[in-house]
Homo-oligomer: A and B are copies of this chain.
């Protein structure tokens, strides 16, 4: 699978895109940009690991000698590039600068730490720094068939966790107790890491990024469960469902149904050529028309792939048109601080024929 997911010819495409963008080189430190180009899941360390991709010339990987064996055992070894190990008392930034020679503009991995970007600025004082995202976003935003398959696999894994949630949620348990069981289930379902576990019961459901608390779940509580992790492939899952422990308050049931229709409308709006902001608007219109517009306080979604949050963002003002291979969340929410809240989230892939969800769990309120 690795070879499809991280094809060896991607490096050549990145080099071409670098030249086309007018950049002289990309400098990719550990993180999703490096992984996308090489498949190498390098540790983020204070010692510099950096893939250098000159627009004209051969790419090479600066790597601490300690990490050389790990790099050689990674998919990066298939790329046929030089690995340049450096020793504890070497200056790897100076080494990169010397190899690059005169460069006017370099693209930095979007997540490069300041401790590296400022060292590169000093080692390459004549080089302007821009984000590598300027080059990579156009590639990363259109998922290949193998990437879509990896997102589907991640979606199936998190769906399997949601299928277990009704057995875990009970009045009398704390959010943290339930969250711990969910975290175990995320790993058991095949994820490599647990990235977030939100169990927002009762009033905590009204805080969109609430995580876990010692609150004891009460009868009649609506509970927002928003969970995700990273698969061994590198690709991420993210899905939200709302459960109710017994019958929910009538006011909640009323707006939940509005939310369900809004999420459905936004998913139905997905097709090539439609702008990101109009998908946001599709959800927002339903909610606003029902009188809850002020209660939907965040964007409708975010792209997903090697990062849980990446391009494209489904937000007002983003006029980028969708294209086949775009993958993103559709997750409107309605929140009543102090009382309760709700959010429904699926990951959607834009295809030639419209949006295709990777999550299949029922979207009706699940009374447990």
A103-135 residues with Cβ-Cβ distance < 8 A to B are 108-115, 117-118, 121, 129-131, 133
A316 at the interface (CB under 8 A from B): yes
Stretch at the interface among A63-71, A217-225, A244-252, A260-268: A63-71
CB pair A207 B70 closer than 8 Å: yes
A274 at the interface (CB under 8 A from B): no
CB pair A70 B129 closer than 8 Å: no
Interface size class on chain A is 35 or more
Q: Which residue of B lies closest to A309 (CB)?
A: B46
Other-chain residue from B45, B89, B130 in contact with A309 (beta carbon distance below 8 A): B45
Q: How far is the CB of A295 from chain B (nearest CB, A)?
A: 13
Contact with B along A43-84 (1 / 0, CB 8 A): 101100000000000000000011101100000000000000
Residue among A43, A118, A121 with most chain B CB within 10 A: A118
By a CB distance below 8 angstroms, the chain B residues around A316 are 88-89
Q: A108-B114, A117-B117, A131-B114 are in contact. Are A297 and B66 (CB under 8 A)?
A: yes
Residue among A108, A133, A209, A302 with most chain B CB within 10 A: A209
Q: Which residue of B lies closest to A29 (CB)?
A: B114
CB pair B112 A66 closer than 8 Å: no
Instruction: List 14 A-B pairs, Cβ < 8 Å.
Output: A43-B209, A45-B309, A66-B208, A66-B297, A69-B207, A69-B209, A69-B210, A70-B210, A88-B316, A89-B317, A110-B114, A112-B113, A115-B131, A118-B131
